[in-house]
Amino acid sequence: MKLQVSELENGIRLVAIHGKLDSAGVYAVEMDFRHHCLGSQKKVVVDLSHVSYISSIGIPLLVSVAKMLASNSGKMVLLSPQKNVYEVLEMVGVTRIIPVYYDLALARRAF
């Protein structure tokens, strides 16, 4: 499990997650993920293209960070989740809370 963080134009931060967002994966990245998303950042794109699995432990991590950003006039969007990950996110209603994009240019325009 690892994170890659990069800065895009207009103050947008791209946080790419690699691995499984299960209990071990969340434990491995949660503190860094929160730090990179909630610092002074208000616009965050979370790239899920390299996340092969998300469990009931991973979902609250995404939702809680998205809600904290929103409460501080920020926003999170998700980028390119794999089909099985998207299906879980959609089934539990995350896609109604956090927008999902499959194109980085469209995700950037969401801000």
Residue 53 belongs to what H/E stretch? strand 43-54
- At residue 41 the predicted structure's pLDDT band, cuts being 50, 70 and 90, is low
Q: What is the CATH number of the domain that holds 76?
A: 3.30.750.24
Tokens (6 digits) for 94: 């995350």
Provide the domain limits for residue 13. Answer: 2-109
In tens, the pLDDT along 93-104 reads: 999 999 999 999
Please tell me the pTM assigned to this model.
0.95
- Total number of residues shown for the chain: 111
How many angstroms separate the CA atoms of 30 and 104, rounded?
A: 23
Query: What is the longest distance spanned by two Cα atoms in the chain?
Result: 34
User: For position 32, what pLDDT does the model report?
Assistant: 95
Number of domains in the chain: 1
In tens, the pLDDT along 9-39 reads: 999 999 999 999 999 999 999 999 999 998 7
